[in-house]
Structure 1
Amino acid sequence: MANNLLTPEELSALAEGVNDGTIPVDTGYNTSARVRKHDLASEDSSLGVNVASIDMINERFVRLFRLGLLEMLRSSPRVNPTHVQIVRFGDYLKDLRAPLSVNVVRMNPLRGYSIVVIDPVVVFSSLDSFFGGFGRGVGELPSSRPFTPTETRIINMILDVFFRSLKEAWSPLIEIDFELVSSEINPQFAQIADENDLVILTRFETEGGPQTQGFIDLVYPYSSLKPVRDLLRSRVQTGDGNEESDNQWRDDLGNAVDSASLEMRVLLGSFEGSFKTIENMQAGDVLYFKKPELARLLINDVPAFDVQVGALGTQTAVQIDRAVIPGMQ
């Protein structure tokens, strides 16, 4: 143990001088400097990642994800994103209960690993819809129950739609490729970060049928988005975008509208009949109706033009005579 440089009497005199003000204590270098308390063991959560930009990416993702699920399940479950949260990974894990479909994912070129967590309610509701049901969910499951091969197949189909939709949602900023690394049922085994590390959490709340509210969580390590934080600030459209980006957004929107696919049908005529007549109709019956002067061209079932029906070469064709919708020529 080191020896004291001052005697007990000198230390006592020094303390008395500080207490009665005879010895000044506000001397030294940078006495007026403003300081801020900082915990070196804690990761800073104000490193510039634009959470509002992540929200906008999620909104774009949800639109694409709904369409993908509609194509897969032939039903349209509700999917609503919650606001992005920055939380400690340990705090997130303690609220989860097995069994869950916990999928560790590498999102190249982002650093580290992310996880996609799917509630069993979503899995069983999708399974029921896929086989022609009404999207019913499932009750509480034992924590150690694994997913069957059929359930795992449904999970992989959901992940495929999820990855494709998220890839397209991120594409205006950066091209991302997804690699499924592993799958677990216990979230404690998916250690993509230390307990005190910050993660970016988005929960997508789902409803696939009666009383089948579930969720899908997307969790990024906070550090994985640091390399792209400048992109998140500058390239995602926000309400205060500059004129150049607004014009680009307007051009992209116009191009998307111009390339939209529309169905056009020609209605040659119509007739009215009683329910009994229609009920007794069979192959070989002849239906009579008055031929109109002009046929009607419908665009997505909306009357648009009156047309003349004829032929051009070997093809049946129509020639537009007049517009039905005001403003169309």
Structure 2
Amino acid sequence: MSEEILSQTEIDALLSAISSGEMDAEELKKEEEDKKVKVYDFKRALRFSKDQIRSISRIHENYARLLTTFFSGQLRTYVNISVASVDQIPYEEFIRSIPKMTILNVISMEPLEGKILMEVNPNIAYSMMDRLLGGKGNSDVQPESLTEIETTIMTQMFEKAVVNIQEAWSTIVEIDPMLDEFEVNPQFLQMVSPNETVVVVSFNTQIGDVSGMINICIPHIVLEPIIPKLSAHYWMESATKERDPEKYAILSKHMEKVELEAKVILGQSNITVNELLQLSTEDIISLNQKIQDPLTLEVNGEPKMHVQVGTVHKKVAVQVMDHIERRSLS
């Protein structure tokens, strides 16, 4: 158990309050004993550690970026999707928290067992559909009144969005996600038992002037085989794995062909507009560069090296003297 260390000033203030009768020592002792008892709800069993929840959050932050790019291209309007929260709750609690009529996409995650659920707030789903049909992104269609054509349009759109899950999860496991069902009533879905722990990832979603939530519900059975990979230790190991020599050679070869702009700054000077207008042939402009000082070589506008001017084969050239260390922003 972690202990809180008080400063001398806080200790003096506490002793003074007890001496003056403002605080009761017995009452403080009782409060300390009460703190040792922690309420635990067995219906809300926490089956994932904070470290594992952070890993799931990282995966879906990447997925949010992929969805933002995908929907921006599909809808041709401003789209912003970001992770709002990642929580573990009973499945029953998640079902009660979403609208009675909403857009539900059941997604299989082969080769992982079980399925995940993507719930899209009606405001967001109908705005997407309205944009696809040539509208401005505003719609008041109700889920229960969707026509077969509207259902088909939404299904095809979310089928394409599901593909991005594969790339987002690729750092952990290779999966082949597929949209299995499209539903509007959560009461018709019973993916797992009501008390089963699920991880709910909530996304803040902005499409034009319309905002709402997209929720992804991931049952424990889906994540169970990959739980060891949802640790910081695994992520650090993955980041420090030995690089593939063949891929490194190909990447290096491509990098060698990248063009950069390199230029040497001979000096600078500040003059007024009036002085500029008065310039004529054989006038001299004094630069702030001393002859004995090295010049600066810039690469793509960033200072990289100190150089000195000379000639090579009757052409003007510069010789590198030293590198310019990049300054930290702190």
Q: How would you bin the TM-score normalised by the shorter chain? A: 0.5 to 0.7
Alignment of 1:1-329 (within 5 A): 42=43, 44-48=45-49, 50-134=52-136, 136-139=137-140, 145-210=144-209, 212-233=210-231, 237=235, 241=236, 245-246=239-240
Q: CA deviation at 1:129?
A: 2.1
> Closer, same or farther in 2 for the Cα pair 1:94/1:258, shift >3 Å?
farther
How many Å apart are 1:99 and its aligned residue? 2.2
Per-residue CA distance 1:9-67 (angstroms, 9 max, x = gap): xxxxxxxxxxxxxxxxxxxxxxxxxxx9988x757423557010111101111111111
After superposition, the C-alpha distances for 1:68-127 in whole angstroms (9 at most, x for unaligned) are: 112222223111112211011111111222321112222112221221112221222112
Max radius of gyration: which structure?
A: 1
Structure 2 distance, partners of 1:43, 1:182, is: 28
Q: Which ranges of structure 1 fall in alignment gaps of 5 or more residues?
A: 1-35, 265-301, 304-321
Q: Distance in 2 between matches of 1:79 and 1:253?
A: 33
Q: Aligned partner of 1:199: which letter?
A: V
* 1:209 Cα deviation after fit: 1.8
In structure 2, relative to structure 1, the CA distance for the partners of 1:108 and 1:161 (3 Å cut) is: same
Q: How far apart are the structure 2 equivalents of 1:157 and 1:235?
A: 38
The corresponding residue for 2:307 is: none
For 1:276, the equivalent position in structure 2 comes to none
Contact map agreement 1:69 1:161 (CA 8 A) in 2: no
Partner of 1:31: none
Aligned match of 1:7: none
Assess if the C-alpha contact under 8 Å between 2:78 and 2:208 holds in 1.
no
TM-score, length-scaled by structure 2: 0.57
For the 8 Å contact 1:104–1:190, the answer to whether it is kept is no
- Distance change in 2, residues 1:247/1:82 (3 Å): same
The one-letter code of the counterpart of 2:65 is: R
Whole-Å Cα distance in 2 between the matches of residues 196 and 86 of structure 1? Answer: 12
The answer to whether the 8 A contact 2:120-2:214 is kept is yes
Say if 1:126 and 1:154, in contact at 8 Å, map to a contact too.
no
User: Secondary structure of 1:213's partner?
Assistant: strand
2:231 is paired with a residue of what secondary structure? helix
Q: CA RMSD in A?
A: 3.9
Identity %: 23
Q: CA deviation at 1:263?
A: 12
Gaps (5+ residues) in structure 2? 1-37, 260-299, 302-316, 318-322, 324-330
Write the distance in 2 (CA, Å) between the matches of 1:67 and 1:197: 33
CA distance in 1, matches of 2:215, 2:252: 32
Q: Which amino acid aligns with 2:224?
A: K
C-alpha contact 2:55 2:232 (8 A) present in aligned 1: no
Residues 46 and 133 (structure 1), Cα distance of their counterparts in 2 relative to 1, 3 Å cut: same
* Matched residue, 1:20: none
In 2, distance between residues paired with 1:53 and 1:127?
Answer: 32
User: Which structure dedicates a bigger proportion of its chain to helix?
Assistant: 2
